[in-house]
Amino acid sequence: MNTSPSSVDNALVPESSHCEEHVDFVRWALAQLGISYAEDADGARFSLDEADREVFEGQSELRLAWRSAPTGSSWEPIDVQSRFGHWLLEKLRSAGPAVPTQPRFQPAAVNDVASKLLAAYRVDGGQVHLGGCQLEDFPFLRLSFAASEKGRPSVRHVFVAHDGSSVSDDLALNLGLLELEPIHKSQPRIDHITINTLLAAGRRIAAKKSSVRDPSATVAEPLVAAIVWVKHVSGKLLFTVGGTTIEHPFSGWAKLIEAQPYVSKTSGASSFHLGATDDGRIDAVDQIVPCECSGRRVLVQELVTCCVTGRHVLEEFTELCPVSGRPALSDEFAICPMCRQRVSQSVWQEKGCDACRQLTKIRANDPRLAWILGEHKGLDRWRRWRLAETQQAYIAQSERLMKRLLIVVDKESLTIRHLATSGKWASLWTPATGTARDELLR
Ligand SMILES: [Zn+2]
């Protein structure tokens, strides 16, 4: 590593949004070295250990000038080229290839994360609790370079993520990489290979950030490297109602983690507010509603709307209306006086169901008529057919002389379900059975 002025002048310093004044860098470095100092607006002072006094002409106390030191005064300038600067960087580097440090503001314990997550959920008739949570330290790298911002000396930082990738400005800010402090408790372990891999990645990223302006330029040497230990959290929440428990895993940077809504595999709904159906399935509360027939609490997707009453009920209490094709409560059905089919009240009328009242003229070569006549030859004597279809049947009406004929034919088997006749102007139909039926069909 090189701290000579030429490193700034001849080699390019990587582009970065993360700059700080020397004074802030020195504050961080002193804290890292465990040197306590008294500070006022002009500077700081601290006692020197015996071993360090030689560098500073035997002084026992050092007075650092935060800004420019008056000439001839006993104030030490703090820029990286000064004797204090050299001494400080040497001290930092003596601990190893990278100084261990950590964001000043990040969750330190499982509880800090868990309490925030747990508070985000509500479980009606049940509870949410932690089913496991681990905090893990991930090493990020910070390379610091001597730079100059608007003519003033400064320190510029380049950050590298644990996987060797570049760290976006937003992520660096959000993870708290711009405000670092010493690690108070035991430091996470890191091997030389990992450090060297990160350093190599850092140099590549720094070179890339430098070559933006001049691809042939040499990259400046970093002043110091630091490993920033960033806490990552993973675990799962458990939602319990009665005897049912479901899991909701979470994972992310401890400082950034936010509660995520639970997404139900059954309903697909996402929510922070959960409940359970009467049969014990946990889902978003807004997906759980009572069946208006039985009162059972079920998923809204399991209900159908009765086309007669508009009530939302379980399918088991309904039947499909053959005319409308829609479900209706079983006690909302009646027999159509014309076609004798069981139809819902929504299509039933005294003179016949919607299908019977909406027969439309068909041509003699209509395939549906051809199928019916093919099965029942006797019907070929009739003319002027009109027809309607329901879910399971054809309803057809025909005329001949002064009589009318009504047939209801099963769509699948083409068997006659109902056969009736009436006078041309009569309103009532007489079912044809027995020999009358046989004669009509033969
Ligand atoms: Zn009918």
Q: What is the sign of the dihedral through the CA atoms of 196, 197, 202 and 208?
A: positive
Rounded distance from Cα 152 to ligand 1 centre (Å)? 94
CA neighbor of 43 nearest in space, from 72, 89, 84, 75 = 75
In the numeric block, which tokens belong to residue 428? 């009532």
Distance in Å, CA 338 to ligand 1 centroid? 5
411 CA to centre of ligand 1 in angstroms: 15
Region 23-49 average pLDDT? 92
> What's the whole-number average pLDDT of the chain?
91
Rounded mean pLDDT of 416-441?
Answer: 90
Q: Quick check: helix, strand or coil at residue 34?
A: coil
Edge to edge, what strands does the sheet with 273-276 contain?
A: 122-123, 273-276, 282-284
CA of 67 to the centre of ligand 1 (A): 98
Q: Residues 145-193: pLDDT tens digits?
A: 998 888 788 899 999 999 999 999 999 999 999 999 999 888 899 999 9
**Alpha-carbon gap, residue 294 to 277, rounded angstroms:** 13
Percent of the chain having pLDDT more than 70? 95
- Measured in angstroms, how far is the CA atom of residue 375 from the centroid of ligand 1? 22
Ligand 1: distance of its center to the CA of 293 in Å? Answer: 27
What is the distance in A from the centroid of ligand 1 to the CA of 313?
Answer: 26
CATH class for the domain made up of 297-335: alpha beta
Task: With cut-offs at 50, 70 and 90, classify the pLDDT of residue 17.
Answer: confident
| pLDDT of 6 above 60 | no
Question: What are the residue ranges spanned by the domains of the chain?
Answer: 6-232, 297-335, 359-441
In angstroms, the CA 362 to CA 15 distance is 81
So what's the pLDDT on residue 71? Answer: 66
Distance from Cα 333 to the centre of ligand 1, integer Å: 12
Cβ burial of 366 (10 Å; 0-12, 13-18, 19+) is: middle
Q: Regarding the domain delimited by 359-441, which CATH topology (the fold level of the hierarchy) does it fall under?
A: Nuclear Transport Factor 2; Chain: A, (3.10.450)
CB 178 within 8 A of CB 258: no
- Residue 337 CA to ligand 1 center (angstroms) comes to 7
- For residues 23 and 86, give the distance between their C-alpha atoms in angstroms, rounded to a whole number: 15
The residues, any chain, with a CB within 8 Å of residue 268's CB and separated by 6 or more, are: none
pLDDT given for residue 72 in this prediction:
63
CA of 424 relative to ligand 1 center, distance in Å: 18
Give the chain's length. Answer: 442
Using DSSP's 3-state secondary structure scheme, residue 256 falls into coil
Task: Measure 115 CA to ligand 1 centroid, in angstroms.
Answer: 64
Lowest mean pLDDT among 31-35, 81-85, 314-318, 358-362: 81-85
What are the Cα distances from residue 202, in Å, to 98, 167, 181, 233? 12, 11, 21, 25
CB 182 within 8 A of CB 103: no
Please give the model's pTM, rounded to 2 decimal places: 0.77
For ligand 1, the distance from its centroid to the CA atom of residue 94, given in whole angstroms, is: 97
Cα–ligand 1 centroid distance for 388 (angstroms): 10
Residue 140 DSSP SS3: strand
CA dihedral 19, 24, 29, 33 (to 10 degrees): -160
The conformation of residue 98, written as its DSSP 8-state character, comes to: S
**Distance, CA 417 to ligand 1 centroid (Å)?**
12
Residue 244 Cα to ligand 1 middle (Å): 49
* Rounded mean pLDDT, 409-430: 92
